[in-house]
Chain A
Amino acid sequence: MVTTVAQTGKCLLPFAFGRPLAEPEFLEVQSRLALDCFKWDIQIGDTATLFRQPLLIRPAVWQQLAKMAEELAAEFMAAEKEIVTRPELYSMLGLSPNLHTLLSETCRNGADAPDVRVLRFDFHYTSGGWRISEVNSDVPGGYTEASRFPQLVSRFTPRTRPCGDPARTWTDAILRCVGTQGRVALLSAPGFLEDQQVTAFLAAELQARGVETFLVHGPSQFNWQGGQAHAVHKSGFIPLDAIVRFYQGEWLLKLPNASKWKQLFAPGKTLVTNPGYSLLAESKRFPLIWDYLETKMTCWRSLLPESCGPQDNRWQNITDKSWVLKEAFSNTGDSIHMREAVSARSWNALKRTALKHPERWVVQRKFEISPVWSELGWVYPCIGVFTINGEAAGTYTRVGLRPVIDYNAMDVALLIAKEDSDG
């Protein structure tokens, strides 16, 4: 029987690491992921990204995480529906002014269209219980790591099973929209292999179910006719049923108009998922508008740490190290700043920058992530729970050697340890 509660410091953890994979097992997992599942970033700098030990949880812990994620998703999507119809909130979110008109028109016409909506909530276990650091609502990634990696590791870890298969759930959802003879383009930025590996993986999942796919590396490569996107192929113009957008919204905004990126935000005959308006509540300033919404953000308020704008007095004391400064639009750990990680001079410079453009920043109460013991020593887990159309679908789990999840983080297979009663 696997023990899934570990003693660390002062608190009992709801998870523990299992046995590390033996070398031949690990090489097999690594090869299958790299050669068959499009996991091409198995090494980043000096960090081997695949963690050899699975993180084990009990079924009840997964049920709790799934329930919280689904409540967060329900509140989030209700709030988003409100926000899209209230352009006066856009600037509070730090959204670029040149998007206000575009988004308000889009949202008036298209926010209720059928959709495949993927969210990923990043959970951390702290001395105060579960907390979330953010939602990835624009272009959440980690499908291979959340789907195939746990499956492969589970084969070598007796009496365990993955939490889910987000890639399969996502494919099912796309198929419900486009049908088995559908045509789907998957869009990512040129030159970014870490993004292209995501679209290549999802394309392969769709192809295996009969869908024709096209990998596209820039919005200018679409041909638009009457609101319908077409892929250009040797055989001619191919009308597209859907575009899977794995191109960050804030990057699109920086492209020239000639690239026709605005078509991706406009309602049309081609489904775009995640939709352009996903960018709105991707803002880390999202909690600053809750008091202006009808939606009661009950679950969010209980799980997201206290947040305020840079002009708020609560965090101004230089000796107060309990706050984190975050850029409104950033989706790696690179734009998260902690007082103890920088000099007083750098911290003051950051504060000045934030106060000069307060709409681009948010300040959040820091939480203490409980570390868990591994073969590499203490590590800090982040469990990213996917919801697809509001239902929990699996987890993209990472661990950091520091309490920040950034590009140095390692991917972990989160597995449910079967209990004796499971048979």
Chain B
Amino acid sequence: MDKDEIYRIWAPSDAPWSRWVKPVLFSFMDSRFDVPRSSITQFKTDWAPRPGQAVIVVDLPGEDGVVWGLQLTRLGYRPIPLYNALPFPPSEKMFPATRPECTVDVVPILTALYRETAALKEIHLAADAPPVFLLDADRRIARKDPEPGVFDNRSVCFSTDFPSAEFLLSRHVTEAIVLQRGSNVAGDLLLVLLEWQKAGIQLLRKDPMEDAPPKPIVVEPPSFLRRLWYRISVALTLRRGELGGFGGIVKSASG
């Protein structure tokens, strides 16, 4: 399969949610890379509601997001990859040996999308199957300092990466389940969820490592003191590797 076919399997033109699929990683599908087997074999998805009025946001690290997305696809949800990062500089597509080290390991996501394409193709989804949005939980965290020679491919998600609350409501969406480890919602995703919650969409959180069903949550804007502490901690380089938390650099793009 070439990159066009792969892209259209993930973003079929007749599915109303396809237009939110981020094309970045699909433009790298003609790169040279190895495709390892999935490292995850255990899934419990009985907590997921039957496709209807819920959307799911999977915020899990690396390939986990893709693999969990495919499991939920088997229940009738449409996977919408929202990965916003370059896996390596485009000039290094054909030269794995000379690729620089990266702050975020995006290649496992690229290869997981490639690997799971064949499986996705075999799943017959309704055109209007509700979405499961896929994010990389490690997107903002530099596992390696962005020093000279390191490719800084950290990324953030913006509310404009998602459908608006008005659009969700127009499609009869009443709840959004966040599948993530732990209880802290990422700072950039928090801003998205706040808008949805404000419009009346019920938020729930589910930890894939726990048996408990999704729990309703109420997200709140970060307090002044919390924002202040965040800024101080950034200034003291305690969070040197973290990008875009609590509006840290959430600005409009250039010209």
Binding site for B on A (CB under 8 A): 23, 27, 31, 34-36, 38, 40, 42-46, 48, 120, 136, 138-142, 188-196, 198, 200, 203-204, 207, 213-215, 217-218, 220-223, 231-235, 246-248, 251, 331-332, 334, 407
Query: Could you count the A-B residue pairs with CB atoms below 8 Å apart for me: how many are there?
Result: 131
- Which segment of B47-55, B69-77, B224-232, B244-252 sits at the interface? B244-252
B97 nearest CB across to chain A (Å): 9
Binding site for A on B (CB under 8 A): 3-4, 7-8, 13, 19-20, 22-24, 26-27, 84-86, 89-91, 98, 100, 140, 146-156, 159-160, 162-164, 166-167, 243-244, 249, 251-255
Question: Can you list 20 A-B contacts with CB-CB less than 8 angstroms, sorted by A residue number?
Answer: A31-B4, A31-B7, A34-B27, A35-B3, A35-B7, A40-B23, A42-B19, A45-B164, A46-B163, A138-B255, A141-B254, A191-B156, A200-B90, A215-B90, A217-B152, A218-B146, A234-B100, A247-B254, A248-B254, A407-B252
Name the CB-closest residue of B to A138: B255
A263 nearest CB across to chain B (Å): 13
Per DSSP, chain B at the interface is loop
| Contact among B8, B148, B254 for A223, CB-based, below 8 A | B148
Which residues of chain B are near A193, meaning CB under 8 Å? 24, 84-85, 155
Which residues of chain B are near A220, meaning CB under 8 Å? 146-148
Q: Is the CB of B27 within 8 A of A35?
A: yes
Chain A CB within 10 A, most for which of B8, B147, B149, B155: B149
Q: Is the CB of B167 within 8 A of A46?
A: yes
Which residues of chain A are near B249, meaning CB under 8 Å? 189, 191
Which residues of chain B are near A213, meaning CB under 8 Å? 91
Which residues of chain A are near B252, meaning CB under 8 Å? 331-332, 334, 407
Q: Is the CB of A221 within 8 A of B27?
A: no
Which residues of chain B are near A246, meaning CB under 8 Å? 254
Per DSSP, chain A at the interface is mixed
Q: Given A46-B166, A217-B152, A232-B149 in contact, is the A407-B160 Cβ separation under 8 Å? A: yes
Q: Is the CB of B23 within 8 A of A190?
A: no
- Identify the 7 closest CB pairs spanning chains A and B, nearest first: A232-B149, A194-B253, A34-B23, A232-B148, A217-B152, A332-B252, A45-B160
Q: Is the CB of A221 within 8 A of B152?
A: yes
Other than A43-B20, A193-B85, give 11 A-B pairs with Cβ distance below 8 A.
Answer: A34-B27, A35-B3, A43-B19, A45-B163, A191-B243, A194-B254, A217-B153, A220-B146, A234-B149, A235-B98, A247-B254
B12 nearest CB across to chain A (Å): 10
Name the CB-closest residue of A to B98: A234
Chain A CB within 10 A, most for which of B22, B89, B151, B253: B253
Q: Is the CB of B255 within 8 A of A139?
A: yes
Bound: A246/B255 CA distance, A: 9
Bound: A207/B24 CA distance, A: 19
Chain A CB within 10 A, most for which of B20, B140, B148, B151: B148
A6 nearest CB across to chain B (Å): 29
Chain A CB within 10 A, most for which of B85, B100, B154: B100
Chain B CB within 10 A, most for which of A207, A232, A247: A232
| Contact among B4, B150, B163 for A221, CB-based, below 8 A | B150
A136 nearest CB across to chain B (Å): 4
Bound: A65/B152 CA distance, A: 40
| Contact among A36, A136, A190 for B146, CB-based, below 8 A | A190
A195 nearest CB across to chain B (Å): 5
